[in-house]
Structure 1
Amino acid sequence: MQFYGHSDKETPRDGWQTLVDHLASVAEMAGGFARASGLEQAAFIAGLFHDLGKYDPAFQAYIAGIGESVDHSTAGARVLCDLAQGRDKAMAEIIAYAILGHHAGLPDRLNETGACFDMRMKKPLFLDPAWQAELGPDVARQIDGLARALPQPVDKDLQRYAFTLSFLGRMIFSCLVDADFKDTESFYVSLGQRAVDRDWPRLQGLLPGFQARFDAHMGRFASRAVASETSQTLNALRADILSHVRAGAAKGPGFFTLTVPTGGGKTLASLGFALDHAGIHGHDRIIYAIPFTSIIDQTSAIFRSVLGEEHVLEHHANIDEERFDARERRDKLKLAMEDWAAPVVITTNVQLFESLFSARPSRSRKLHNIANSIIILDEAQTLPRSLLLPVMQSLEELVLRYGCTVVLCTATQPALARREGFELGLPLDADRELAPDPEGLARQLARTRIRHQGVLDDAALVETLGVREQMLVIVNSRRHALDLYRQAKAANLDGLVHLTTRQYASDRRRILAEVRRRLHDGLPCRLIATSLIEAGVDVDFPAALRAEAGLDQIIQAAGRVNREGKRPRDDSVVTVFTPADHKPPREIAGLIGDMKRIIDKHPDLTAPAAIADYFGEVYWRVGRVGLDAKDILGRFNLASGGTDFAYRKVGEDFRMIESGLAPVIIAIEDEAKLWVDKLGLADVPSGLLARKLQAFTVQVPPKARERLRVCGHVAFVAPHLRGDQFAVLQKASLYDPQLGLIWEDADYLAAEDLLW
């Protein structure tokens, strides 16, 4: 009897893929993917056994068009664990998770459903004995020695070792699912389906050209600079920073910090380091992770202008691969989002870290391509505190065991180094700081003064705004921004602008363009904004008012003042105030307290020592529990019975951003109306529609959206096709480009409106 791995109803059986060919091909490919991680044998075995369940006669009948599908992902895990002997059983069990999960996702060892590891491993097997002959008589010998790839525990911390093993299991899983998908795709392409272009040039082959382009770009940048004394001094300082950073590329792979104040050119400096470091140490790709989608376009534009459009992959939440319909899986960039095969990847922290903790095959495919990469974490201080421990441990695994270099790049270094009182930190050595003299740089690039004003009510803020024609005010909530804007509007202040996430992204881009124009032309510009303006947005105000917040946020606010260094520092003041009329959100209130505990210790709050002291307070206050609020690490354990890994539950719970908000689409512009009209067309993929409408979406409290829906102001469009995915505003008068979406009424207080 012939056993098949894949069939096609329009192809004769002699054109079907045999099962043994599929298993052998996936094994070879998975092993190749794992070579950089030292897990070649384990990944090979995972590929060889992953579809062993297809030797079930019932499955063979199914792919021939007879009967129903049967579970074919369990048998290989069972047989592998039965065959493994001695210490090899430990690695076999880790591989078994990957085999069990290669379609439905990595399972938990134990949970209340029958899909968990233990329940599935008890299922009866119905395998034709032909599998032994087809896989070969030496299959048991191939399993021998699996335990050699198991890392040795470095201390007696069994929970840390359990995480190490669980991470190793993720890498094997990634190699398996990527190889399985690509071999299956290759078979169907061979049957005449449209061929796909997955080939990307290797980073190592591109590096000489990249470095030449980088040097040429920096030369052009310097030659275009305005020949004023200030700009000459700044350019000389940036050149010195770049030279020092690139000199550090010769140091061995591992952790680095890059602490450069706003305006010091850290984005380009970090790229220069990555190019040189990869050339010296042979890394396979550069991954640049950014905390905010609002600035990813800005960074992508820089990288593309330097390296070339065709070599840079941009991947973030707005173009998530899981939203793609099969009909859209055509062009090279979309395919590359699945596996990050491009030489340079620009992504978000959400994509990077949620992929590292995901149980789903679609998100895990890229993990093996993260190995042997240079990972630059921009604005490292924004890593969510409640997930900081699992994030740090995942980074440490990538550095210690998977050949990665990680650069923590920021103006406000978050003091993640391991030290007395913070033994949970990263192994960051002082000699791995890439910037020359961060303390000195902070003094040289200091462009503002931070002053504390005390309590100010909105009337006082409006009065202060009236004194200067150009000024920035940043508050802690959308509610406060709206209230303050309305009061300032009533005072007839000229050049008044309101910027919050009440406005959809397309409107915000237009507003920011107008703000930059008015600032450049010296026109009145009084901007009232939420903290979104601090997310790397390139604006340059002469002064600012900032509601009390954490020190890192205040320093980020200061980065929007005198950004180009054209004004005297003493005239460029960021005034920190306590709002009289609006209490800060609970989380920000805690950070305010942390800052107040260090204020009297540091005359200059922008100095690296003050920032380190502040983050020490932040981490000390919450302790281990606060740094792993969902007990992510506590769900990977070792016991006498083997592993107890809760992959699936962790994948559900690990979320970098938990806004608790619900989307409302504002279909006022013609482009938005065009795509809303297509919601009723069954042949238009939901993923495409979601991406096109992303720029016209406002996030609101769920109770507010439901209230709007009940009142008939919001409706789910085409629910028969899209369910409740697309909530569209029906009452256009509720949205105003200057105010944004106004969902409150006189008797409704948006208590949940605490974000931006």
Structure 2
Amino acid sequence: MSSLSKMYSHLDKLLVDHLQKVGNSCRQNLFLKKLNLDGYIDFDILKDISYLIGVSHDFGKATVYFQEYLKEKNESKKMEMKNKAEVHHSFISALFTYYVIKKYLLAKDLLSEKYYQYLPVIGFLVVKRHHGNLDDAFNEVILDSKDEKVLEKQFNAIDFKIINNIYNQLFSKINFKFDYNFFRDNIINAKPIYIYNEIDRYEKKYIRDLNHQEKKLINNLNEEDTLFYYFTTLLLYSLLLDADKTDAANLQEIKRIKIDKDIVDDYKLYLFKDINKKKKEINKIRNEIYNETINSLQRLNLEKDKILSLNVPTGTGKTLASLSFALKLKAKIEQEKKYKPRIIYSLPYLSIIDQNFAIFEDVFKFFLKGKTPNSNLLLKHHHLSDVNYTTSDTGKEEFENLSPKDIGKDLLLIEGWNSEVIITTFFQFFYSLISNRNKSIRKFHNIVNSIVILDEIQAIPHYYWLLLNKIIHFLAEKFNIYFILVTATQPLLFNEKEKEIEPLIKDKEKYFKALNRVELKYNSESLCLNDFQKILEEDLCNNLNKDFLIVLNTINSSLEIYNFICQLELEDTEIYYLSTNIIPKERLRRIKKSREKSKKQKIIISTQLIEAGVDLDVDIVYRDFAPLDSINQVAGRCNRNFSQNKGLIKLFILKEEEKKKEYYRYIYDSFIISKTKDVLKEASKKQIEEKGFLSLNNSYFDRVNQGKADDEAKEILEEVKKLNFGELDKFKLIQDTYKKIDIFVETDEKGREIYQKYKDLSLIKDLFKRKNEFLKIKKNFYDYVISIPHQYATDFIVEDKAIGHISLEEIKQNNYYDPETGFKREEGSVGGTLIY
């Protein structure tokens, strides 16, 4: 190799061009951010560090080994070369990055400064894992003799005259001069192990220093230094990943869009003009809450008030109020602070993502005069989302006809959260903050400076309150992320009395008292299902003009009650069964059907998937025992629209006939169950009405907060402190109680066609093409998939397939799956889990 034009990073891309574009993109994306790092590091220095990481990350591709591999046309030989250690470039690039950042900081006389001295090691970690997942920092400094020999071979296979020319050009952009002779003499002619040992010493010193403070850190977990190192690593890693993938895929820059801050106001005036004329009390209250929410922006201090709450009763329009407030906050930040925040709306349950996305889509359709918003304006992202990213430039409609290359680009844009408003799950959001995974962390830099709406925040497990309190505090203060916690039952993640959180509604008690829609009756005696059925039958027969929602804790108990009600043969009654036993497509159809107006009585039997956010309105609710926040959520489905007749919630403790074990024990934490019982025991001495729910909730969360153990939160914070990224899989929003298997259920001809397409994928030898062909059918495919406990799945596992299968013929023969009640479980099994 004798010229720059012969050295490539990718088949169609010169190495120098790729390094330049990635470095520029890292620096520019960081330049657009507003961070409050005074007292830590100079922002201009951090921008230069991000640039150095970008231009150094593929240094190792300059070896003869990599260049020969890249140009090899024989596929089998290329695969053989790919597996050779000498071809791998991340490790040697990481060493180079470490050395470059260290020399840069030395030139600035900053290397010995407290917050700068670990930046070379962070650069090393980020580059070493830019094609994988971050590992524990200390594990990265383990080097054996084979690694050392590979490094020597790689260094000796680099033409340093070409590299010198490349980096003279790249480093001149930030007025940094690099001593290549020193680098060559001290690294190439010496042993690479020396630089590695230097990293090892740095790492040990850092951890030793931290361990001296260990007791202090455990007692005072708001220690910011450790979070600074952790989130700086995430930020630099995210910037590199996004820049590298974007340039490698030749993606065009997605232009930001300006949104009118008043579109929700205009939408409400248009949509609800006839409804508001009816002057129903509920509409008056909804309007008051909406107006107070958006007007609260006038009193907020943008520098101090970054953790906010919207705590109002269920069914009072929190979704539109929070979106409108966020749009107005976005406009105010753009005007006063001169940066453009994205809005991230995050929910805990897949079951309500589509419902809320439809509301947002309607708002933006109104704004666009009937046109569907493109993905750069409104984006939905969860693991079952469509992989189709549209902009006004692409206008893509026929997803089936897209090429694998187009699909790959779409997936990159979606997973990078390249949109003004993103609707996503808690899973996607929180695993971008607490994770070691390349795919999750890539979008972190687009979370920085954003406005995050956390809806149904009570779904966060109590044992993570401390962890999220510390992380959210740091991100709000240092990374200028505004958090809006939206709920009817506000947990004590933050202490309002100590000004940790600013309420948008000052006198929320006024609204809870005004909306006295329901009464709660609690039966503290344990009942077997037979006794429960007798009570239920009498109530159903005496209230033929009322709609019922019956929520059970397990699938089997829900099936027993469903079958019992069907046997009653009630006239003029529509009966709906909902649980994870039913394929998602059919569940959604039943929810939509149950919401339609009908002259017939409606009886809905469900597991707890129905309780949060699903827009139902019934007269009477029966609920098997659950934590208080779950009881509150299901109460929100009762007399939701504040009719003249007060709704009724009947709370029971149901147990198995033989084992005498309460069903709640299978799915709920005993700690929060005991706190719920304590609160209800005290409250049931008098009538429990909705107007008393706020004080009931406050009492409950006070007890939870006082009695909760913080061991799990502290353990994860310890791993964060030491940059033990590999240990962060301890963070689990969803606790796996038992192993589950996915089963594809062919309930109709369309399902049969989709499964046949899935089977045909095995004929595609190219893994990349096979993956992208699956992405075309992914959303429709998972409409037919249920997850069942492993012990029931052995008959359905298909050889060489990662998923089980029940055919349409088997269903027609009355085997395995019932169209009404779903998957057929063995007699006496319990099963049933929360939908998250």
What TM-score, normalized to structure 1?
Answer: 0.84
Instruction: Give the aligned partner of residue 190 of structure 1.
Output: none
Alignment map for 1:651-666 (pairs within 5 Å): 651=729, 654=732, 656=734, 658=736, 660-666=739-745
Instruction: Give the aligned partner of residue 193 of structure 1.
Output: none
> Shift of the alpha carbon at 1:55?
2.4
1:245 aligns with 2:293: yes
Instruction: Give the Cα–Cα distance (whole angstroms) in 1 for the partners of residues 291 and 408 of structure 2.
Output: 39
Output one character per residue of 1:570-624: Cα deviation in whole Å (capped at 9) or x when no partner.
Answer: xx11111111434313525432211122235556575333213212323433311
Q: In structure 2, which of residues 358, 380, 394 is the aligned counterpart of residue 314 of structure 1?
A: 380
Question: Equivalent residue of 1:319, what SS?
Answer: coil
Question: Equivalent residue of 2:603, what SS?
Answer: strand
Instruction: Give the aligned partner of residue 302 of structure 1.
Output: 359
1:6 aligns with 2:40: no
Letter of the aligned partner of 2:319 in structure 1? T
Instruction: Give the aligned partner of residue 424 of structure 1.
Output: none
Does the 8 A contact of 2:554 with 2:831 survive in 1? no
Mark the CA change 1:655 to 1:527 in structure 2 (over 3 Å): closer, same or farther: closer
Instruction: Give the aligned partner of residue 103 of structure 1.
Output: 131
Instruction: Give the Cα–Cα distance (whole angstroms) in 2 for the partners of residues 405 and 445 of structure 1.
Output: 30
Does the 8 A contact of 1:354 with 1:656 survive in 2? no
> Shift of the alpha carbon at 1:299?
0.9
Q: How many residues align?
A: 692
Instruction: Give the Cα–Cα distance (whole angstroms) in 2 for the partners of residues 17 and 98 of structure 1.
Output: 23
Instruction: Give the aligned partner of residue 51 of structure 1.
Output: 58
Instruction: Give the Cα–Cα distance (whole angstroms) in 2 for the partners of residues 5 and 275 of structure 1.
Output: 47
Does the 8 A contact of 1:23 with 1:47 survive in 2? yes
Mark the CA change 1:633 to 1:627 in structure 2 (over 3 Å): closer, same or farther: closer
Q: In structure 2, which of residues 792, 803, 806 is the aligned counterpart of residue 725 of structure 1?
A: 803
Alignment map for 1:741-756 (pairs within 5 Å): 741-744=823-826, 746=827, 749-755=828-834
Does the 8 A contact of 1:544 with 1:573 survive in 2? yes
1:650 aligns with 2:703: no
Letter of the aligned partner of 1:702 in structure 2? H
> Shift of the alpha carbon at 1:429?
3.7
Mark the CA change 1:484 to 1:509 in structure 2 (over 3 Å): closer, same or farther: same
Structure 1 gaps, min length 5: 10-15, 187-195, 421-426, 638-643
Instruction: Give the Cα–Cα distance (whole angstroms) in 2 for the partners of residues 686 and 390 of structure 1.
Output: 37
Letter of the aligned partner of 1:6 in structure 2? Y
> Shift of the alpha carbon at 1:488?
2.2
Instruction: Give the aligned partner of residue 183 of structure 2.
Output: none
Q: In structure 1, which of residues 708, 714, 738 is the aligned counterpart of residue 820 of structure 2?
A: 738
Does the 8 A contact of 2:290 with 2:321 survive in 1? yes
Letter of the aligned partner of 2:360 in structure 1? F
Question: Equivalent residue of 1:157, what SS?
Answer: helix
Alignment map for 1:531-550 (pairs within 5 Å): 531-550=608-627
Identity of aligned residues (%): 24
Output one character per residue of 1:698-738: Cα deviation in whole Å (capped at 9) or x when no partner.
Answer: 211011112xx1xxxx242xx55xx3235345731232232
> Shift of the alpha carbon at 1:646?
2.1
Farther-moved stretch of structure 1 (465-474 vs 540-549): 465-474
Letter of the aligned partner of 1:704 in structure 2? Y
1:25 aligns with 2:21: yes
Mark the CA change 1:52 to 1:332 in structure 2 (over 3 Å): closer, same or farther: closer
Instruction: Give the Cα–Cα distance (whole angstroms) in 2 for the partners of residues 214 and 514 of structure 1.
Output: 28
Farther-moved stretch of structure 1 (285-294 vs 55-64): 55-64
Instruction: Give the Cα–Cα distance (whole angstroms) in 2 for the partners of residues 336 and 575 of structure 1.
Output: 47
Instruction: Give the aligned partner of residue 181 of structure 2.
Output: none
Instruction: Give the Cα–Cα distance (whole angstroms) in 2 for the partners of residues 448 and 530 of structure 1.
Output: 21
> Shift of the alpha carbon at 1:627?
4.5
Does the 8 A contact of 2:388 with 2:411 survive in 1? no
1:632 aligns with 2:689: no
Does the 8 A contact of 1:255 with 1:399 survive in 2? yes
1:136 aligns with 2:162: no
Mark the CA change 1:242 to 1:755 in structure 2 (over 3 Å): closer, same or farther: closer
Instruction: Give the Cα–Cα distance (whole angstroms) in 2 for the partners of residues 620 and 627 of structure 1.
Output: 15
Letter of the aligned partner of 2:229 in structure 1? L
Mark the CA change 1:143 to 1:280 in structure 2 (over 3 Å): closer, same or farther: farther
Instruction: Give the aligned partner of residue 692 of structure 1.
Output: 780
> Shift of the alpha carbon at 1:157?
3.0
Question: Equivalent residue of 1:340, what SS?
Answer: coil
Alignment map for 1:279-678 (pairs within 5 Å): 279-282=331-334, 283-308=340-365, 309-310=373-374, 311-319=377-385, 327=404, 329-330=406-407, 334-418=411-495, 429=500, 432-455=502-525, 456=527, 457-459=531-533, 460-469=535-544, 470-494=547-571, 495=573, 496-517=575-596, 520-569=597-646, 572-581=647-656, 582-586=662-666, 587-599=668-680, 606-627=692-713, 631-637=715-721, 644-651=722-729, 654=732, 656=734, 658=736, 660-678=739-757
> Shift of the alpha carbon at 1:42?
2.4
1:199 aligns with 2:254: yes
> Shift of the alpha carbon at 1:652?
7.5
> Shift of the alpha carbon at 1:81?
2.8
Mark the CA change 1:647 to 1:216 in structure 2 (over 3 Å): closer, same or farther: same
Q: In structure 1, which of residues 224, 235, 249 is the aligned counterpart of residue 274 of structure 2?
A: 224
Output one character per residue of 1:28-67: Cα deviation in whole Å (capped at 9) or x when no partner.
Answer: 1111112214442221121021111122222222223287
Mark the CA change 1:361 to 1:329 in structure 2 (over 3 Å): closer, same or farther: farther
Does the 8 A contact of 1:386 with 1:627 survive in 2? yes
Farther-moved stretch of structure 1 (71-80 vs 22-31): 71-80
Larger Rg: 2
Mark the CA change 1:560 to 1:273 in structure 2 (over 3 Å): closer, same or farther: same
Mark the CA change 1:321 to 1:91 in structure 2 (over 3 Å): closer, same or farther: farther
> Shift of the alpha carbon at 1:119?
3.5
Output one character per residue of 1:641-672: Cα deviation in whole Å (capped at 9) or x when no partner.
Answer: xxx42223324754546364221111021211
Mark the CA change 1:56 to 1:335 in structure 2 (over 3 Å): closer, same or farther: closer
Farther-moved stretch of structure 1 (319-328 vs 162-171): 319-328
> Shift of the alpha carbon at 1:142?
4.2
Does the 8 A contact of 1:106 with 1:359 survive in 2? yes
Instruction: Give the aligned partner of residue 423 of structure 1.
Output: none
Instruction: Give the Cα–Cα distance (whole angstroms) in 1 for the partners of residues 121 and 388 of structure 2.
Output: 29
Q: In structure 2, which of residues 307, 316, 319 is the aligned counterpart of residue 255 of structure 1?
A: 307
